[in-house]
Amino acid sequence: MIELANVSVRYPKEVVALHPTTLHFRRGEFNVLLGASGAGKSSLLRSLNLLNTPTTGCVRAADIGVIDTPAKLRLHRSRTGMIFQQHQLISRQTALSNVLLGRIGYHSTWRTLFPLARAEQRIALECLDRVGLLHKATERVDRLSGGQLQRVGIARALAQKPRLMLADEPVASLDPATSRRVLSQLKSICREDGITSVVSLHQVDLAREYADRIIALAHGHVVFDGAPDELTDVLLQTIYDQTPGNIRDVVASQPVMFPVLT
């Protein structure tokens, strides 16, 4: 569905956030990225919609091919929903107005200066309904709880009718029960709609509970790629141990890992 082919991300001052990485994400799969702070999760995630332009390699999407022109990038981005840790909603606007923003990619710039049609409002309301927030449609979002805000963020991303959903630490600021509610809602909606999800998390227990596939990063390398039950405690300890030598040992000893370190 979407593929990183040999993609690396390098920032100024020679910071290599992601070493050349090849990954294929299947349609409808719920992928979770794990790794210590600075491991490269956001860099990988943002390379999937080219918010980070790959330093090497390319990104391929189904029906688009290599995303190498502005037109292809626009099309790819219009099909990619993004959910952020700090939801990035417009606080003085209603939930409905915020969700309608997800529809902007479907209209020309001048069109969005005018009230969006009823059909658009219906789509936005349906999306709010799917996250259980129809009753909050006309509420200003600065009056909503953290979990509700994140669900409005999901509704906004869904209003785009995405094929790919990218979520960077979507539950980082939520309590455990709310985190579970938000993740399980996100997962079930994505499954129903066949949306491929790539979600970065810091909570290993949530990753184990919700992921179809876990990809763990350390120092910009993929050091684990497999099913949640293949991720042993020993592996986890090493993934979160910041010493590069340890990571190299684990990469060398584990068949489920990519031989990325040389």
Give how far the C-alpha of residue 39 lies from the chain's centroid of Cα atoms, to the nearest Å.
Answer: 16
Please answer whether residues 130 and 179 qualify as being in contact, where contact means their C-beta atoms are separated by less than 8 angstroms.
Answer: no
- Which of 81/189 has CB closer to Mg ion? 81
- Which of 100/218 has CB closer to ligand ATP? 218
What is the C-alpha radius of gyration for the chain, rounded to an integer number of angstroms?
19
Identify the DSSP state of 94: B
7, 19, 23, 40: residue in contact with ligand ATP (rule CB under 6 A): 40
Rule CB under 6 A: say whether 35 interacts with ligand ATP: yes
- Which of 97/179 has CB closer to ligand ATP? 179
- Which CA distances in Å does 120 have to 5, 7, 125, 133, 228? 36, 36, 9, 17, 39
42, 49, 160, 254: residue in contact with Mg ion (rule CB under 5 A): 42
Alpha helix positions (H), the chain: 41-48, 70-78, 95-100, 118-130, 146-159, 176-193, 204-210, 233-240, 244-253
- For residue 217, the cross-strand partners are 222
Q: Which does 137 bind (CB under 5 to 8 A by kind): ligand ATP, Mg ion, none?
A: none
Number of residues interacting with ligand ATP: please give it, by CB under 6 A. 11
- Cα-Cα-Cα-Cα torsion 84, 91, 163, 222, nearest 10 degrees, comes to 0
Sign for the pseudo-dihedral over CA of 210, 28, 167, 160: negative
In the block, tokens 């094929």 appear at 163
Rule CB under 6 A: say whether 42 interacts with ligand ATP: yes
19, 41, 136, 187: residue in contact with ligand ATP (rule CB under 6 A): 41
CB of 45 to Mg ion, least distance (A): 8
CB of 35 to ligand ATP, least distance (A): 5
Rule CB under 6 A: say whether 11 interacts with ligand ATP: yes
Q: Which does 39 bind (CB under 5 to 8 A by kind): ligand ATP, Mg ion, none?
A: ligand ATP
> Which range binds ligand ATP by CB under 6 A, 38-46, 72-80, 128-136, 208-216?
38-46
Report the interface residues with ligand ATP, using CB under 6 A. Answer: 11, 15, 17, 35, 37-43
Interacting residues toward Mg ion by CB under 5 A: 41-42
